[in-house]
A and B are shown apart, each in its own frame.
Chain A
């Protein structure tokens, strides 16, 4: 399993993570920030545990995030 964590408040809405992992990230039209699909809000940090096959594209999303608010770790 892997865990994806996003500090959503600091998102600048650049769309880079959506390009990298379109099934896991979606731009919210409400506030222009990105939403971690399936993520649960824990005090502003959105957290999701998912399967290893999503590692590659989400690790890329974390790497190219300009404000470095995405973290992906192997559980």
Chain B
């Protein structure tokens, strides 16, 4: 098995730092509006690029800009501006699906990855794109056998990218799947004039629907299943098989997800990948990772199309079935480094000794701990209520931009 790169989503500075803490090798993110999460995330602006690149360099991770919407004539200038800025800030590659982006990036000497939106499903398409890109994200609808066969053919045919090296394959390892092939969906556009292919998907496929008999007006709720809402992809239970295909990059989906999701999924996949390479991957560990993964946002898990067993598994619920949920409690005030104690101001709910907590922020990323001791005005207390300043032991530095959440069972 060759070394694989673990690529995590960074929809915000919080998630970027959380991904780094979780142990990612690379992050991908959108800049301005030309990406598939134009609606759902606080997209970074061109001004943020320098800071992101600096953080990435400091932490020795690679950075990729996602620019994979369909493009109109009026987008071309902005697209070029983003490619130019990416080159200047030494971003590692642009993830593209529109040929205009590939063409311009190639001209400018900016490396390109072919996005899953380009729907690469066979070796000849890989050959076609090889003059533009060294890395290609395969379509999410392929089975592992198909993935392995494409990888084998790349080696047999010696398909090389612009760098002169063999083309590397990337696949999705974890996160939301959608009912449409390679995300090319018209449902949201059809019902709400919100084009998924411009990053404005309103995710109405995630709702439950009723079928009406037109002759008699009878309504049927289909088996209480959310028939268009696929469960989330999770490959940890068969990660060794994934790695045996020879793919080079594993991507975690979720630029619209929060820092705790990014941290936990990155951490689990980091540990699982390392375990595969160290021959310490066991069923017991898999159970542990699955338990951790189920604590953060998910719609239930399935194997995607990789094992080719079922056509599709549909979610049984609207939204997340995570076993834990977070409740906002307090904002950061100050950190006393010597004592490793943090001061917070409680803005909502309450906090007690023994509560599990997490702190997220644009520089802090993600920190989790259990409340050991709470103090108000220097005196120990068992519980703090809204409107109080308090101190609590936190193992890492926190900042005024940070938020403290209580993590509780999701019942």
Contact = CB atoms under 8 A, between A and B. Distances in A.
Binding partners A and B? yes
B77 A67 contact: no
B193 interface: yes
Contacts of B72: 13, 15, 27
A16 to B, nearest CB: 6
B78 to A, nearest CB: 4
A13 to B, nearest CB: 6
B24 interface: no
Interface string B34-50: 10001100000000000
Contact of A67 (B34, B74, B200): B200
Interface residues of A, number: 18
B77 A29 contact: yes
Interface residues of B, number: 21
A33 B33 contact: yes
A31 interface: yes
- Chain B residues touching A, majority SS: loop
Given A11-B33, A12-B38, A12-B200, A32 B78 contact: yes
A32 B193 contact: no
A11 B78 CA distance: 13
B192 interface: yes
B34 A32 contact: yes
Contact of B74 (A16, A27, A65, A66): A27
Contacts of B275: none
Minimum-distance CB pairs A-B, first 9: A66-B194, A27-B74, A32-B78, A66-B200, A64-B193, A12-B38, A12-B33, A32-B75, A14-B198
Interface of B: 32-34, 38-39, 72-79, 192-195, 198-200, 202
Interface of A: 11-16, 27-33, 63-67
